[in-house]
Amino acid sequence: MTPNRLTYTEALSALESRGRFGIRLGLARTRALLAALDHPERTFRGALIAGTNGKGSVLALVGSALTTAGYRVGETPKPHLVTYRERLQIGGVPVDPETFARLASRVLAESDRVARRHGDPTEFELLTAITFLWFAEAGIDLAVVEVGLGGRLDATHAWDGGVAVVTNVTLDHTDRLGTTVEAIAKEKAAIIMRGDLAVTGAWGSALDVVERRCRRMAVPLAVTPPAQLRGVDRDGIEVELGRLGRTRVGLRGRHQAANVAVADATLDALESAGIARVSGEWRRAGYATVCWPGRLELIEVGGSGAPSGSGAGRVAAGAPSGSGGVSGASSGSGEVGARGAVAMPGRRDVLLDGAHNPAGAATLAEAVDDMAPFLSPDRPTLVLAIMADKDVDGVIRALSESALLRAARVICTAPAGGRALPAEDLAARWRSLAGRAAEAIAEPAAALDTALSSGSGPVIVAGSLYLVGAARAILVQDPSLIPDPPLPHTEVSP
């Protein structure tokens, strides 16, 4: 039976409509769907990454090193910022709209038959099947896959790549995963299967749980403490990393010392499993040039005061700035001053970071203070949005601990969709908790315009990945990341 061919917009709408039914954990629907597709997940191996924090960074670091070494790598970063297609990539390039629509048409047709026995597959289950089908069709060398929620019952756990990674475990999604660190660790450690090699950056009671799982499955486990931090600057960090010695990491924030240690151990495990081998030279190159969009991502925009809506302040996508963010060079060649230098004259630093929970906000606060000597000395501007169902007060308190942000002009805004705390309400919360002024500009593009049109200090865009995605769509010109058409749907990402 040939499935009805959907357009990209129709396919996207069909998938996102499933999100309205919420998250239903369990593997039966995914396994049945993959069986109906002739098990595409069995055609490739790789690493499955679970954990509370750092999954995306570890995926980005491992994927960058593997790609630099010449491997054709399938990746599943999430959530997306500009287009849904970012959630499935090969070699860092998102799937094209036509291929996505064709694969979605086939998977949706099979899902109707699976639903008769197992119930309707969820949006994430359908996306997982589409992703694995594309990876198999494209003939990737290996995959690096990020778990969606938990581990034991997450759709991605229908695949066993041979290497299982648990970055760390703290309290998260307690309504679904358990109310203690030990219970959550048990859910995440369940991705470790007999025959695997395992890696973890967990500690304390969570590490105890991971170790017990490995003993029960007779799986070798590499426990990786954070690499020793050697330096922090404008474009990333330097660490002392095992056999590699002093190593440059093109991701910002002290917390990346833990993530690069897990990433390096993951590459060791992939080699031991006979899946891929990445030399020290390629690891160094991959870690130095890695980019993780929207997470402490530094963009330089040309011409202070140019309204973003006019396109005058936009930058071209290209090589990382230094070894971290996207360059503002019109050629996309990675134009930036010497490492540690401040922004180039006539340009504005824009730092994008989701920071949608208190832990993320605390990491951002620490990072901007570390970066302060390398940014413009002029007064910074914070453009802030927070979803109403998040810990709004906790995010504000964490951000207000930053010395740099205490001096900032604060502009509160609210991305479209209905879940964001209204800009006026957010500004009132900031004034009450931080004890400093804040203004409200409801429309994100107008808020960004205002921030870029006045002053010359750095602009920090934070508090919501929806806001970061909207800002990135305005500031970064990338033909492969054309924003999706607006669809009526219920937001399910941070």
Closest alpha carbon to 201 in 237, 169, 153: 169
The 3-class SS string of 102-148 reads: HHHHHHHHHHHHHHHHHCCCCHHHHHHHHHHHHHHHHCCCEEEEECC
The string of pLDDT tens digits covering residues 225-275 is 999 999 999 999 999 999 999 999 999 999 999 999 999 999 999 999 999
- 417, 371: one domain: yes
CATH number at residue 76: 3.40.1190.10
Domain boundary among 289, 309, 344: 289
CA 186 to chain centre: 23
The residue-averaged pLDDT of 378-407 equals 95
User: What DSSP letter does each residue of 200-243 carry, written as one string?
Assistant: E---HHHHHHHHHHHHHHT--EEE-PPPEEEEEETTEEEEEEGG
**CA-atom Rg of the chain in angstroms:** 22
Which residue would you say has higher pLDDT here, 308 or 64?
64
User: Which pLDDT band, with edges at 50, 70 and 90, does 176 fall under?
Assistant: low
Domain boundary among 289, 311, 333: 289
CB burial string 382-417: b at 16+ within 10 A, e below: bbbbbbeebbbebbbbbbbebebbeebbbbbbbbee
- 273, 303: one domain: no
- What is residue 322's predicted lDDT score, i.e. its pLDDT? 37
Phi, psi (deg, nearest 5) at residue 348: -115, 135
The total number of structural domains in the chain stands at: 2
The residue-averaged pLDDT of 35-63 equals 96
What whole-number distance in Å separates Cα of residue 424 and Cα of residue 120? 40
- 265, 326: one domain: no
Phi, psi (deg, nearest 5) at residue 300: -105, 130
User: Do residues 92 and 61 touch, judged by C-beta distance below 8 A?
Assistant: no
- 285, 301: one domain: no
Burial group, residue 209, by CB count within 10 angstroms (0-12, 13-18, 19+) = buried
What whole-number distance in Å separates Cα of residue 312 and Cα of residue 308? 6
- 153, 97: one domain: yes
User: Which pLDDT band, with edges at 50, 70 and 90, does 281 fall under?
Assistant: very high
- 64, 160: one domain: yes
Does residue 144 fall inside a structural domain? yes
- What is residue 344's predicted lDDT score, i.e. its pLDDT? 54
Q: How many residues comprise the chain?
A: 494
- 73, 94: one domain: yes
Question: Dihedral angle at the C-alpha atoms of 399, 401, 404, 405, nearest 10 degrees?
Answer: 40
User: Which pLDDT band, with edges at 50, 70 and 90, does 173 fall under?
Assistant: low
- 315, 338: one domain: yes
Predicted model pTM:
0.88
User: Which pLDDT band, with edges at 50, 70 and 90, does 25 fall under?
Assistant: low
What whole-number distance in Å separates Cα of residue 268 and Cα of residue 477? 36
Give the C-alpha distances (Å, rounded to integers) separating 371 from 273, 294, 359, 374.
39, 16, 18, 5
User: Which pLDDT band, with edges at 50, 70 and 90, does 487 fall under?
Assistant: low
- What is residue 360's predicted lDDT score, i.e. its pLDDT? 87
Does residue 426 fall inside a structural domain? yes
- 274, 394: one domain: no
- What is residue 347's predicted lDDT score, i.e. its pLDDT? 82
Pairing status of strand 297-302 against strand 347-353: antiparallel
- What is residue 481's predicted lDDT score, i.e. its pLDDT? 81
pLDDT of 339 above 60: no
Does residue 492 fall inside a structural domain? no
Q: What percent of the chain is modeled with pLDDT above 90?
A: 71
- What is residue 277's predicted lDDT score, i.e. its pLDDT? 98
- 330, 371: one domain: yes
- 93, 141: one domain: yes
How many Cβ atoms from other residues are within 10 Å of residue 13's Cβ?
Answer: 15
The string of pLDDT tens digits covering residues 50-94 is 998 899 999 999 999 999 999 999 999 988 999 999 999 999 999
Strand, coil or helix: what is 438?
coil
Any bridge partners for residue 413, and if so which?
none
- 196, 321: one domain: no
Domain boundary among 289, 324, 355: 289
What whole-number distance in Å separates Cα of residue 334 and Cα of residue 178? 45
CATH number at residue 454: 3.90.190.20
Phi, psi (deg, nearest 5) at residue 340: 90, -10
Q: Where in the sequence is the domain holding 202, given as residue range(s)? A: 8-289
Classify 93 in phi/psi space as left (phi over 0), alpha (psi -120 to 50) or beta. beta
Angle at 408 between CA 406 and CA 409, to 5 degrees: 135
Does residue 2 fall inside a structural domain? no
What whole-number distance in Å separates Cα of residue 447 and Cα of residue 440? 8
Does residue 3 fall inside a structural domain? no
- What is residue 143's predicted lDDT score, i.e. its pLDDT? 98
pLDDT of 326 above 80: no
Does residue 424 fall inside a structural domain? yes
- What is residue 390's predicted lDDT score, i.e. its pLDDT? 87
How many Cβ atoms from other residues are within 10 Å of residue 327's Cβ?
Answer: 23
Does residue 486 fall inside a structural domain? no
CB burial string 170-204: b at 16+ within 10 A, e below: eebeeeebbeebeebbbbbbbbbbeebbbbbbbee
Phi, psi (deg, nearest 5) at residue 476: -110, 120
| 43: CB partners within 8 A, 6+ apart | 135, 136
What whole-number distance in Å separates Cα of residue 57 and Cα of residue 188? 17
Does residue 224 fall inside a structural domain? yes
- What is residue 332's predicted lDDT score, i.e. its pLDDT? 30
User: Do residues 30 and 128 touch, judged by C-beta distance below 8 A?
Assistant: yes
Joined tokens for residue 143: 């995959």
How many Cβ atoms from other residues are within 10 Å of residue 229's Cβ?
Answer: 16
